[in-house]
């Protein structure tokens, strides 16, 4: 199949029509959440609790290790963990967006992007539950982000927009090469340690390589920064814009070419 | 709704890539099977199965088509091509009208969700809007005769009850082109007659019906034309009794 420009038209409309099917991916996303926690009284808040315990334990321990005040460190690590949960969820669940939707893909002719929007929406719901941790910590240490806090919302929107291309791209590649999800999972784990979630950026004497060239740092900062009351640096916005643009271009190019193969690969 | 639903399949070929299957040593063996598609090289790397080859068909309003053929003859693949799930590797498909594909009646059933919740999800998957689902829920509920059970999780249902639910939802839509793989069987004797009537009405509402089945009795009752597939090719197409005779003669 030669990938002419004309084959891109259906791929674009797939992405747009998929977004419009908001009732469908909205319902499927909720169904995923409910299915996971159906018979537990606390539901998705189990996730919140386990992350909360982790944040509290690590927060106190590392505040001691790094010799930082708990009142400063705990909100930082809480914000970092919650945002990282969203980013890593978008990436790892994005890999299986199509694989897990196999039965639907093979039986109903829907825009394939629906399955990616479903994953993004589901991850966002989990994030909303986890955000409670940050709110509690912020109240506890009376953090008032003020007007800068509102900037977390566009930051969140940027994360979701990127989550869509990540899901389309990784979902596509993973449908073909089934070992991709494992590779991505270990990549995400390494990135977690390289990104200032547990450690503060100020601890790094020469920040150039590890921070400025780490897109994950900038994405985390877009949400965590405002939540802690400081507007993200311009470089973070620029880096995020660059990744968003580049990511979508690469994804659309591949999606145009290989989208129609997904049903065959599943 | 478009005035006249139609389906055109022009020289459609479908090659399936086979990954990881080291079928080389079986190649000759597989090439001489009587069932299944043709196995060959795929784009120079790896194996491929040719599920459909140069299939050309045209269906218009009022057509009641049965797809017959041995296992692996390409019936399901052809249905998926008609539905737009598989984009053929060669040839073109033109489709006009709202298509509904019912291949697996229990698609999207969440066993931990209640009957009502499942009506909602399945309705959305069938392409209904939330408003349309609300409108039809009472009618669906009445038809299933499940009463208060509809507010209970589906895993408390017997398999027959679950089938009633799935069946009622699937047959509440009004597609212009209806694609079905095998007949939807509904166990419970008391329910069968009622279900058959509903199914008949459902099928009659559709402008075009394409049904893949092995049951000659059923096909004769519902379909007027037939397409006999053999190893991915159309071997014959025409009036249903002729096709069925040919298929029976070929099989024996």
Sort strands B233-239 and B225-230 into parallel, antiparallel or unpaired. Answer: antiparallel
Residue in B87, B104, B120 nearest the CB of A27: B120
Burial of A85 (0-12, 13-18, 19+ CB in 10 A): buried
Chain A residues 29-48 with a CB less than 8 Å from chain B: 31, 34-35, 38-39
Q: Contact at 8 Å (CB) between A98 and A262?
A: yes
Q: Contact at 8 Å (CB) between B16 and B97?
A: no
CB pairs under 8 A between A and B: 63
pLDDT band with cut points at 50, 70 and 90 for residue B42: very low
DSSP state of B129: -
CB atoms < 10 A from the CB of B78, how many? 28
Distance, in Å, from the CA atom of A258 to the CA atom of A261, rounded to the nearest integer, reads: 5
Q: Contact at 8 Å (CB) between A47 and A126?
A: yes
Stretch B18-41: mean pLDDT: 51
Please choose, from the candidates A116, A123, A163, A122, the residue with its C-alpha nearest in 3D space to the C-alpha of residue A14: A116
Q: What is the pLDDT of residue B29?
A: 46
Q: What is the pLDDT of residue A165?
A: 96
Please choose, from the candidates A169, A152, A39, the residue with its C-alpha nearest in 3D space to the C-alpha of residue A98: A169
B228 pLDDT more than 50: yes
Q: What is the pLDDT of residue B44?
A: 46
Quick check: B86 and A23 CB within 8 A? no
B114 touches chain A (CB under 8 A): no
Instruction: List the structure tokens of B150.
Output: 């509809």
Q: What is the pLDDT of residue B20?
A: 62
Distance from CA of B124 to the nearest CA of A (A): 6
Q: What is the pLDDT of residue B187?
A: 59
B120 touches chain A (CB under 8 A): yes
Quick check: A24 and B83 CB within 8 A? no
Instruction: List the structure tokens of A93.
Output: 């669940």
Distance from CA of B252 to the nearest CA of A (A): 32
Instruction: List the structure tokens of B17.
Output: 């890539």
Q: What is the ipTM of this complex?
A: 0.80
A chain contacts of residue B13, beta-carbon cutoff 8 Å: none
Q: What is the pLDDT of residue B168?
A: 85
B21 touches chain A (CB under 8 A): no
DSSP state of B91: E
Q: What is the mean pLDDT of each run of 10 residues along chain A (266 residues)?
A: 63 91 92 80 81 92 91 93 95 94 89 95 94 92 86 95 96 90 94 91 76 90 93 92 95 90 88
Residue B97 phi/psi, 5-degree rounding, is: 120, 160
Quick check: B87 and A23 CB within 8 A? no
Q: What is the pLDDT of residue B40?
A: 56
A chain contacts of residue B112, beta-carbon cutoff 8 Å: 34-35, 38-39
* Buried b or exposed e, range B207-232, using 16+ CB within 10 angstroms: bbbbbbbeeeeebeebbebbbbbbbb
pLDDT digits (tens, 9 = 90+) for B47-56: 778 888 888 9
Mutation site for A-interface testing, chosen from B87, B110, B169 by largest number of A Cβ within 10 Å: B87
DSSP state of B77: H
pLDDT digits (tens, 9 = 90+) for B118-129: 899 889 988 888
DSSP state of B179: E
Distance, in Å, from the CA atom of A117 to the CA atom of A16, rounded to the nearest integer, reads: 11
pLDDT band with cut points at 50, 70 and 90 for residue B23: very low
Q: A207-211, B100-104, B133-137, B239-243: which has the minimum mean pLDDT?
A: A207-211
Quick check: B16 and A264 CB within 8 A? yes
**pTM beyond 0.80:** yes
Quick check: A23 and B103 CB within 8 A? no
Residue with tokens 């400025």: A212
DSSP state of B24: G
Instruction: List the structure tokens of A211.
Output: 């921070």
Q: B11-15, B57-61, B134-138, B172-176: which has the minimum mean pLDDT?
A: B172-176
Q: What is the pLDDT of residue B3?
A: 62
Residue with tokens 């093979």: A106
Distance, in Å, from the CA atom of A265 to the CA atom of B249, rounded to the nearest integer, reads: 36
Distance, in Å, from the CA atom of B172 to the CA atom of B137, rounded to the nearest integer, reads: 9
Q: What is the pLDDT of residue B27?
A: 44
Q: What is the pLDDT of residue B1?
A: 46
């Amino acid at each position: 199949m030669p990938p002419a420009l004309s084959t891109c038209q259906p791929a674009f409309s797939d992405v747009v029509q998929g977004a419009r099917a908001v009732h469908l991916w909205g319902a499927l996303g909720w169904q995923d959440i409910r299915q996971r926690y159906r018979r537990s009284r606390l539901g998705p808040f189990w996730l919140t609790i386990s992350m909360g315990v982790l944040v509290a334990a690590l927060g106190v321990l590392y505040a001691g290790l790094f010799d930082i005040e708990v009142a400063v460190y705990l909100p930082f690590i809480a914000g970092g963990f919650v945002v990282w949960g969203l980013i890593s969820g978008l990436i790892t669940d994005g890999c299986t967006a199509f694989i897990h939707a196999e039965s639907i893909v093979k039986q109903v002719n829907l825009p394939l992007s629906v399955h990616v929007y479903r994953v993004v929406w589901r991850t966002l719901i989990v994030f909303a539950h986890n955000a409670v941790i940050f709110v509690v910590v912020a109240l506890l240490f009376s953090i008032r982000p003020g007007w800068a806090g509102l900037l977390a919302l566009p930051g969140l929107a940027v994360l979701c927009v990127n989550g869509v291309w990540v899901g389309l791209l990784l979902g596509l590649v993973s449908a073909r090469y089934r070992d991709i999800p494992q590779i991505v999972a270990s990549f995400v784990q390494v990135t977690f340690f390289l990104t200032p979630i547990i450690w503060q950026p100020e601890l790094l004497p020469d920040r150039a390589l590890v921070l400025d060239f780490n897109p994950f740092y900038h994405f985390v900062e877009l949400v965590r920064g405002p939540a802690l009351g400081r507007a993200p640096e311009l470089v973070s916005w620029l880096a995020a814009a660059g990744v968003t643009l580049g990511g979508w271009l690469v994804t659309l190019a591949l999606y145009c070419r290989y989208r129609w193969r997904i049903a065959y690969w599943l | 709704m478009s005035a006249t639903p139609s389906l055109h399949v022009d020289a459609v070929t479908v090659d399936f890539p086979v990954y990881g299957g080291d079928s080389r040593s079986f190649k000759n063996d597989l090439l001489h099977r009587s069932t299944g598609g043709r196995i060959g090289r795929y784009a120079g790397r790896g194996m491929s199965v040719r599920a459909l080859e140069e299939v050309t068909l045209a269906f218009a309003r009022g057509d009641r088509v049965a797809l017959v053929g041995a296992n692996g003859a390409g019936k399901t693949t052809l249905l998926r091509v008609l539905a737009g799930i598989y984009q053929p590797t060669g040839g073109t498909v033109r489709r006009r009208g709202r298509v509904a594909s019912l291949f697996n009646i229990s698609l999207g059933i969440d066993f931990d969700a209640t009957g009502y919740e499942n009506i909602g999800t399945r309705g959305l998957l069938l392409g209904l809007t939330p408003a349309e689902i609300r409108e039809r829920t009472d009618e669906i509920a009445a038809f299933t005769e499940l009463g208060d059970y509809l507010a209970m999780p589906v895993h408390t249902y017997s398999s027959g009850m679950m089938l009633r639910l799935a069946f009622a939802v699937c047959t509440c839509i009004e597609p212009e082109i209806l694609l079905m793989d095998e007949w939807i069987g509904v166990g419970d004797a008391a329910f069968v007659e009622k279900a058959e009537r509903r199914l008949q009405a459902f099928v009659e509402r559709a402008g075009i019906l394409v049904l893949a089945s092995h049951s000659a009795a059923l096909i004769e009752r519902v379909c007027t034309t037939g397409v006999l597939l053999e190893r991915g090719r159309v071997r014959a197409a025409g009036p249903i009794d002729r096709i069925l005779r040919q298929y029976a003669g070929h099989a024996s």
